[in-house]
Structure 1
Amino acid sequence: MNHKYFVALSKEYPTIQSLCHEIIHLKATINLPKGTEHYISDLHGEYDAFKHLMNTCSGVIKEKAIALFETEMTNEQIDDLCTIIYYPLKSLKNRDYNNEEYRTIILYLMRLARYVTSKYTRTRVREYLEGGYDDIIDELLHAQLDEMDQHYIYHLQIIDTIIELEEQIEFIKILSDLIKYFAIDHLHILGDIYDRGSMPDKIMDDIIKYQRVDIQWGNHDVLWMGAYLGQEACMITVVKNCLHYDHIDLLERGYGIPLRKLMVEAMNKCPNANDLHAMEKYCYQLQVKLESQLIENYPELKMDYRVVEKVNAKLTSQEIELLEDLKRSFMNSKRLKEHMEFMFDHGSMYLKTNHNLLLHGCIPLDELGNLYEHACFDKKVKGRAYFDLVNQHIKIAYHEKQKESVDYLWYLWCGDKSPLCGRRIVLDKPQVEVKDYYYEYIHQEEVCEMLLKEFNLHRTYSLIINGHTPVRAKDGQSPLCDHRRLVIIDGGFCVQNQEKTGVAGYTLISNSHGMRIKTHHIHEGTYDEKDTEYDSEIIYTREHQEMLKDTKRGESVQERIDDLITLLDLKRRHVL
C-alpha cells in the first residue's frame, strides 16, 4: 500500500524540483498565523441576518478598518467605506462619486485588502482571484503605494484607467468580495439552519458556495434530513412547521414540493377552518399517528411519554396515498437533494477542532452527572461512543437507506436522550419541557472537564462550544459559564427567540491571538441601510501567537510535508 501510494504521489510531483518547490511552499505556509474562525449557531432560516453577518464578518471588517484608518478618516467616513464593502452595488448606486473620490475609495480598499490577506500565501490569494482582474489586483496588493516614485505613479495610472473605462464599480465589488472572503478563514455552524425563518434554502445556497464550512447537525437539520430520505414522521413534521410559520413558499417555490393534494384532503377533514389552519391541523393528526407507530415499533427508545392520548395509529388508504405522494416530492426535489447532500457530506454529530469540542445539543447525563448509557442499535453506549455510533448510522441512513437508521433520525429530532434534542417534549398534551441533566451539570467545572476528557481534549483552554439553548441575556444569563470551560452561542438569530433572549445572536471568534465572543444587538430596519452593533468579550488571550502548524489543519499539512520528504528521499536514491 505504501509503495502504491508513493508511486501515485510521484506522478503528481514527477521531478525533484517540483517536490522541493511544494515542500518549501508548505513549510512556509504552516508558519503563517492561523486564520480567523467564526462559530455561529441556530440560524433558523433567518437569511437576511446571516447574509449581513457574512458581509460584515460580525463587525471584524469595521474593526480592521478602524485599526488602519482611525487617524486619517472620520467615523462617518469609515462607516461609509464599510457600507461599500458590505453592499458595494447598492451603496455605489446611491452615491454620485467623482473620479477622485473613486480613486480614494480604491486606494483605501487596496490597503484594507492587503491587511486582511497578509496571513495568507500569495498563491492562495491568486487562486481566489482567478478570472477577475487577478494580475492587476495581485500587483497592487504587493506594491508599496506610499513610495512617491515612478512605480507609485504607475499604480495610480492603473487605477485611473480602470475609472476611465467605467469599470470602477465592478473593480470595487471584486475588492470588497476579496476582503470579506479572507476576513473569515473558516465557518463553523453548530446546527439548526432550518425551521422558523423563511429562507433556510438561501442560507444553504450561500454555504455551498462558501465551501470553507463545517456543520454540526442540529435537531431541526436532522428533521429535514429525515424528510428528504422519506421518513414519514419527519416529512409531515417539516410540512406542519412550514404551515405553522406561514412558509408554504419555502416548500412549493423553494423546493418544488406541491401541497395542493394535502390542502384538498385537509379541507375535507376540517371544513370549518381556513386552508392553512386546516392543513396544519391535519398534519398534526398524521404526525400523532406516525409517531405512535414509531413508539410501538421501537420500544427500546423509551418514547412512550411522547403521545399521552392513545389513538388508532392505522393510516387510511387516502392518508397512505397522500404520504406516498409527498414522499416522491421530497425525495425527487433537485434543490433539496443538493442541500441535503451537502448537509450529509459536510456535517457531523460533533467536531474536535483546535482543542475545542463543537456540538449542537448535549452529551446526555444521568441524575448523578455521569454519562448516560443509551440503548442504540442493539448496543449500550454512552459519551463519545454514543456520538460515534449515531454518526455512523446517519451515514448508513444516507448511503444505504436502511430503514432502522432512517427512522432513528426521528428520534434524534425529538428524543429526550437524543444528543441533538435532550428535552422531554410531549406531542399531544402541552406540558413543561424536562431537560436532560446535562443542562444542569454543565455549570460545574469538573463535569465539563470530564466531558472534554471523554473526547480526549485535555488543554487548559479547551472549550465545549454549544448551540441549541437560547441564552436569556436580558435576564442576566451569560453565554460563557463562570468556569469558562463551556460557551453556548444560541442567542437569537431566530426573530421568535429575540423576545426572550434580548439579543440577536452571538458569534464566537477565534484567531491567532485568542478567542472572544461578540453579542449582536437587535437590529432595527434593513441591514443594508444600517450596520448591526456588537458587544465583544474576550474569553482568553494566547501567550504566544498560534500558527497554522499548531492547528488541526496544520497537522494534515505536516503529514503531507513528511510524505513529500520521504518521496524526495526515494527519488534521490532512485527507488522511484
Structure 2
Amino acid sequence: MSDLETRYLERLSELYPTIAAASTEVINLEAILNLPKGTEHFLTDIHGEYEAFSHVLKNGSGAVRRKVNDVFGNTLSSQDKQTLATLIYYPREKMDQILKQVHNREDWYKITLYRLIEVSKRAASKYTRSKVRKALPPEFAYVIEELITEKVDVRDKESYYSAIVATIIRVGRAKEFIVALSELIQRLIVDHLHILGDIYDRGPGPHIIMDKLMSYHSLDIQWGNHDVLWMGAAAGQKGCIANVIRICARYGNLDILEEGYGINLLPLATFSLDMYGDDPCACFALKGTNTCSPSETELNMKMHKAISIIQFKVEGQLAKEHPGFQLENRNLLHLVDCKTGSICINGTVYEMLDSHFPTVDPQDPYRLTPEEELIMERLVNAFRNCEKLQQHMRFLLAKGSLYKVYNGNLLYHGCIPLNEDGSFREVEIYGRKCKGKALYECLDSYVRQAFVAIDCEERKKGRDICWYIWLHENSPLFGKDKMATFERYFLADKETHREKKNPYYSLLEEEDTARGILREFGLSEEDGHIINGHVPVKSKNGENPVKCNGKVLVIDGGFSKAYQKETGIAGYTLIYNSYGLILAAHEPFESTEAAIEKESDIHSESIIIKRVSNRKLVGDTDIGCRLRAKIVDLEMLLEAYHTGRIVEKFPVRGI
C-alpha cells in the first residue's frame, strides 16, 4: 500500500477498530443495497402557498393513498380508505371530528390502531430496522417497533399484539399513539424531497414553508429566480430588496416582511403617504386573492408605487455600474416626458397611464432623493440583520444549488440558455465566458460568494449577480429578452409587455435538444430525464407536461392561485419510486378545513411516465454507488487487518 492508502485505512480503522466491526458494516451495507429504492417526491413553484404545499407534503402526491390501497385493497370500502388517508394527513383534527360521531370509542381506537399498524408495516418494509428506528417518535419508539416488527418466535402473535393495543387504549394513550403512527407513515412514505425552486413570492406564507422545510428529514432545493431574488435581498443588494418589497406590495403580502421577518416598513409607508397622498396610484392595484381592508389596500398601492419608482432608479444605477451586463436598454425613466404624459421607446411614442413622478428629477432621473436614500439604507440594514431571514437563506445555501443531478435525473428550475440553432449560448460573466453546465456552476459560485466571500469586492459581485439572475435574458432562471415591469405598469399597449422567451422553451420539444442537455450534464441520453419547473403548464389549452417522449417533465406545481386561471388545474408533482415515475395532476386546494371535513384531496389524477420491469433497488441509485465504494474501502481494511498491516484496536478494560 502507498503511504496515502495506509493513512486513509488507519483513519477508517478508527471508525471500525476490529475485524468484527468492519465485517458487520459490510454485511449491513450489502443488505441495504438489496432493499427497494426509496420514494422521491418532486415539488416546484410553491410560491408561498403554505396550506396547499403542506397538504401535498402530507399526502405525498397520492403516495399515502396508494399505500393504503396496497394494504387493504378490496377489504375496505373506498370511503373507509379515504377516511383513513385523511386521518394520516391530519390525525388530531380528523380524530376530533370522528370521535364526536362514534358511539364506542374503544372499538374505534382498536380498529384504527390495527389499520395504522398495517400501513406502518408496509411503509417501513423498504427500510432497514436501523433507519426506521431513527424515524420513530421517542415517546413511543419501543412500542411501535414491537408492533411493526414481525415476531417469528411468538407463538400466539394475535394475542401478543392485542395485549399491547388494549394496554395503549386502557392507559389513555390511544389518541397520541394514533398521531405518532400517522406522522411516522408520513415520514416513511417519502424518503427524499426535491424542491425545484420558487418557494417565495405571490402567496402569503413562504416563511412558514421555509420553517417546515428546515425540519424535513431529507431534501434538496434547486433555486428558483424568486428564491435567488430573496437571497440577494438578504445579502443587501438594493435592486433585489426593491423587487422583493414591490412584489410583496403587489400581492398584498407586506405582512410577510413585517410580521414574518420583522422588517420595519414604517419609513417607506410614511414616505409613500407624503409623496403620493393624493395620488390614486391606479396602475398599482393589488393582484392575487389578498384580503386587505380598503384602507390597507390604499396604503399598499401607495407603497407599491413608491418602491417601484425606487426600484427603477436603483436598477438604472446598477445597469450603469455594470456595463458588462448590457442592461442599459432597460433604463426607461429618462425617456419619460412628464409634461405630455408620454414616453418614446425605440422611436415609438406611447401615452403613459401614469406620469406623476414627484421624486424623479428630469435632469438626473436615476438619482434617489435624500428620503429615498435613507429608506434604502434602513432597508439594507434590516434585511442584512434579520436573523430569521439570514437563517432561511443559510438553509437555502446549504441545501440548494442552481441544478442537481440525482439518480439519473437532471433537476433545475428555469432553462439552459440556447441559441436559435439549439447550441448552448455563450454568456460572459465578469469577463469569463461560459455556457451550459459551466454557466450554471459559475453563477452558483457567485451566489454563494454573496454570503461567504472574504474579499468585499467579490462579495459585492456575488450580490449583484443575484440581481442579474433575477432579470437578465441570459440567466438560466429567467430566460426572456426583457423583464417588462415598467411597461406593464405604465403602458396600455400589450405588445410592449411581451417578453420573448429563450429558444430553449420551443426547442425543448425536440428530442435532440433534450439529449444534448443530458449529455452536457453527464447523464444517459436513453435513461435520463430532465425535470423542470418555472413555466406553468397550460393544461386547459391541451399542453402536455411530458415532452420528448418522456425525457422532459415540466412540473410547475401551479400552487400559486394567480396562475390557476391560466392552467386550469393546480399543476403537477412527481413521484419516483421503486416501480417508476408517476406524474400527479392536482385540483386547486380549497382549504385545510375542507380537506378534513369533506375528506377532499387535491390529488386528482396519476400518469405513469415510466414503469420498470424489475423493481429498482438501493443498489441502482446514487446512494448505492456510494455504499459500494464504502464496501470496497472496508474490504481493503479487512485485508489489511488479516495481513497484519493494520492492527485491530480492542478496548482496554480497567482492572
Give the TM-score, by structure 1 length.
0.97
Structure 2 counterpart SS, 1:435: coil
Q: Distance in 1 between matches of 2:30 and 2:137?
A: 24
Task: Give 2:543's aligned residue.
Answer: 477
Superposition deviation, residue 144 in structure 1: 5.9
Q: Distance in 2 between matches of 1:74 and 1:211?
A: 33
Question: Which of the residues 571, 578, 595 maps onto 1:527?
Answer: 595
Matches within 5 A, 1:358-397: 358-397=411-450
Q: Distance in 2 between matches of 1:281 and 1:117?
A: 54
Task: Give 2:561's aligned residue.
Answer: 495
Question: Which of the residues 425, 429, 446 maps onto 2:483?
Answer: 425
Task: Give 1:288's aligned residue.
Answer: 312
Structure 1 counterpart SS, 2:138: coil
2:244 is equivalent to residue 238 of structure 1? yes
Question: Which of the residues 137, 143, 155 maps onto 1:136?
Answer: 143
Decide which moves more: 206-215 or 518-527.
518-527
Matches within 5 A, 1:13-92: 13-92=16-95
Superposition deviation, residue 554 in structure 1: 1.4
Superposition deviation, residue 399 in structure 1: 0.8
Measured against aligned partners, the alpha-carbon deviations of 1:453-480 in whole angstroms (never above 9, x if no partner) come to 1111124121111100010000100111
Q: Given residue 89 of structure 1, which amino acid in structure 2 is its aligned partner?
A: R
Task: Give 2:234's aligned residue.
Answer: 228
Measured against aligned partners, the alpha-carbon deviations of 1:30-67 in whole angstroms (never above 9, x if no partner) come to 11111011111100000000110011111111122122
Measured against aligned partners, the alpha-carbon deviations of 1:98-129 in whole angstroms (never above 9, x if no partner) come to 11221111111111111111110011001111
Q: Distance in 2 between matches of 1:523 and 1:192?
A: 18
Q: Distance in 2 between matches of 1:211 and 1:112?
A: 20
Q: Distance in 1 between matches of 2:141 and 2:462?
A: 48
Q: Given residue 34 of structure 1, which amino acid in structure 2 is its aligned partner?
A: K
Unaligned 5+ segments in structure 2 are: 280-297, 335-363, 489-496, 647-655
Q: Distance in 2 between matches of 1:449 and 1:120?
A: 34
Q: Distance in 2 between matches of 1:181 and 1:540?
A: 25
CA contact (8 A) 2:249 2:300 kept: yes
The 3 A distance-change label for structure 1 pair 426 and 46 is same
Superposition deviation, residue 527 in structure 1: 3.0
CA contact (8 A) 2:61 2:574 kept: no
Measured against aligned partners, the alpha-carbon deviations of 1:343-376 in whole angstroms (never above 9, x if no partner) come to 0111111111111111100000112221100011
After TM superposition, what 4+ stretches of structure 1 lie above 4 angstroms from structure 2?
none
Task: Give 2:616's aligned residue.
Answer: 546
Q: Distance in 1 between matches of 2:323 and 2:519?
A: 32
Task: Give 2:326's aligned residue.
Answer: 302
Measured against aligned partners, the alpha-carbon deviations of 1:249-278 in whole angstroms (never above 9, x if no partner) come to 211111111111111112111112432111
Matches within 5 A, 1:118-133: 118-129=125-136, 131-133=138-140
Task: Give 2:290's aligned residue.
Answer: none
Equivalent pairs, count: 575
Q: Distance in 1 between matches of 2:202 and 2:642?
A: 61
CA contact (8 A) 1:307 1:426 kept: no
Task: Give 1:454's aligned residue.
Answer: 520
Superposition deviation, residue 2 in structure 1: 4.0
Q: Given residue 29 of structure 1, which amino acid in structure 2 is its aligned partner?
A: I
Decide which moves more: 530-539 or 408-417.
530-539
Task: Give 2:357's aligned residue.
Answer: none
Q: Distance in 2 between matches of 1:527 and 1:325?
A: 43
Task: Give 1:174's aligned residue.
Answer: 180
Structure 2 counterpart SS, 1:531: coil
CA contact (8 A) 2:333 2:366 kept: no
Structure 2 counterpart SS, 1:422: coil
CA contact (8 A) 1:491 1:503 kept: no
Q: Distance in 1 between matches of 2:268 and 2:177?
A: 50
Decide which moves more: 125-134 or 50-59.
125-134
Structure 2 counterpart SS, 1:38: strand
Measured against aligned partners, the alpha-carbon deviations of 1:219-248 in whole angstroms (never above 9, x if no partner) come to 000000000000011011111111111112
2:423 is equivalent to residue 416 of structure 1? no
Q: Distance in 1 between matches of 2:617 and 2:246?
A: 48
Q: Distance in 1 between matches of 2:123 and 2:516?
A: 38
Question: Which of the residues 103, 108, 114 maps onto 2:115?
Answer: 108
Task: Give 1:514's aligned residue.
Answer: 580
Q: Given residue 277 of structure 1, which amino acid in structure 2 is its aligned partner?
A: M
2:346 is equivalent to residue 317 of structure 1? no
Q: Distance in 1 between matches of 2:138 and 2:467?
A: 45
Measured against aligned partners, the alpha-carbon deviations of 1:312-360 in whole angstroms (never above 9, x if no partner) come to 2222332222112111111111111111100011111111111111110
Identity, % of aligned positions: 37
2:496 is equivalent to residue 439 of structure 1? no
Task: Give 2:277's aligned residue.
Answer: 271
CA contact (8 A) 1:463 1:486 kept: yes
Q: Distance in 1 between matches of 2:380 and 2:137?
A: 42
Superposition deviation, residue 305 in structure 1: 3.4
CA contact (8 A) 1:216 1:349 kept: yes
Q: Distance in 1 between matches of 2:528 and 2:401?
A: 20
Structure 2 counterpart SS, 1:57: helix
CA contact (8 A) 2:61 2:603 kept: no
Superposition deviation, residue 482 in structure 1: 4.6
2:106 is equivalent to residue 99 of structure 1? yes
Q: Distance in 1 between matches of 2:92 and 2:311?
A: 46
Structure 2 counterpart SS, 1:187: strand
Q: Distance in 1 between matches of 2:270 and 2:626?
A: 56
RMSD across aligned positions (CA):
1.7
CA contact (8 A) 1:373 1:380 kept: yes
Q: Given residue 559 of structure 1, which amino acid in structure 2 is its aligned partner?
A: A
Q: Distance in 1 between matches of 2:249 and 2:554?
A: 29
Q: Given residue 630 of structure 2, which amino acid in structure 1 is its aligned partner?
A: R
Q: Which has the larger radius of gyration?
A: 2
CA contact (8 A) 1:191 1:467 kept: yes
Superposition deviation, residue 532 in structure 1: 2.0
Q: Distance in 2 between matches of 1:348 and 1:8?
A: 31
Q: Distance in 1 between matches of 2:415 and 2:124?
A: 37
Q: Given residue 363 of structure 1, which amino acid in structure 2 is its aligned partner?
A: I
Decide which moves more: 502-511 or 317-326.
317-326
Give the TM-score, by structure 2 length.
0.85
Decide which moves more: 524-533 or 535-544.
524-533
2:607 is equivalent to residue 537 of structure 1? yes
Decide which moves more: 549-558 or 409-418.
549-558
Q: Distance in 2 between matches of 1:19 and 1:86?
A: 41
Q: Distance in 1 between matches of 2:377 and 2:7?
A: 48
Superposition deviation, residue 149 in structure 1: 5.2
Measured against aligned partners, the alpha-carbon deviations of 1:426-448 in whole angstroms (never above 9, x if no partner) come to 23223211111110111111111
Q: Distance in 2 between matches of 1:7 and 1:268?
A: 71
The 3 A distance-change label for structure 1 pair 289 and 19 is same
Q: Distance in 2 between matches of 1:455 and 1:300?
A: 27
Q: Distance in 2 between matches of 1:521 and 1:148?
A: 47
Unaligned 5+ segments in structure 1 are: none
Q: Given residue 178 of structure 1, which amino acid in structure 2 is its aligned partner?
A: L
CA contact (8 A) 2:249 2:303 kept: yes
